[in-house]
Amino acid sequence: MNCFTTLVGMLLAMHLAACDQQIVEKPLHYNSAPAGAVTPIYRLAVHPLHNPQKLSEAYQPLVDHLNGQLKGVHIELEASRDYPTYEKKFRDREPAILLPNPWQTLQAMKVGYHVIAMAGDAEDFKGIFIIRKDSGIKMPTDLKGKVVSYPSPTALAAAIMPQYFLHANGIDINRDIENTYVGSQESSIMNVYLGKSAAGATWPPPWRLFQKDHPAEAAQLRLIWETPSLINNSVMVRDDVPKTVGEQVRKSLLELTQTPLGKTILASMETSRFQGADDASYGIVTDYIKRFEKEVRLVESK
Spans of all domains in the chain: 41-122+231-295, 126-226
Domain 41-122+231-295: which CATH number of 1.10.3660.10, 3.40.30.10, 3.40.250.10, 3.40.190.10: 3.40.190.10
Note the pTM of the prediction, 2 decimals.
0.83
List pLDDT tens digits, range 74-86: 999 999 989 999 9
**How do residues 256-300 score in pLDDT, each as one tens digit?**
999 999 999 999 999 999 999 999 999 999 999 999 999 999 999
As a whole number, the mean pLDDT across the chain is: 89
User: Rounded to an integer, what distance in angstroms lies between the CA atom of residue 44 and that of residue 165?
Assistant: 32
The CATH number corresponding to 126-226 among 3.20.20.70, 1.10.645.10, 3.40.190.10, 3.40.50.920 equals: 3.40.190.10
Say whether 126-226 and 41-122+231-295 share the same fold: yes
For residue 189, give the amino acid letter: I
Residue 298 CB: number of other CB atoms within 10 A? 11
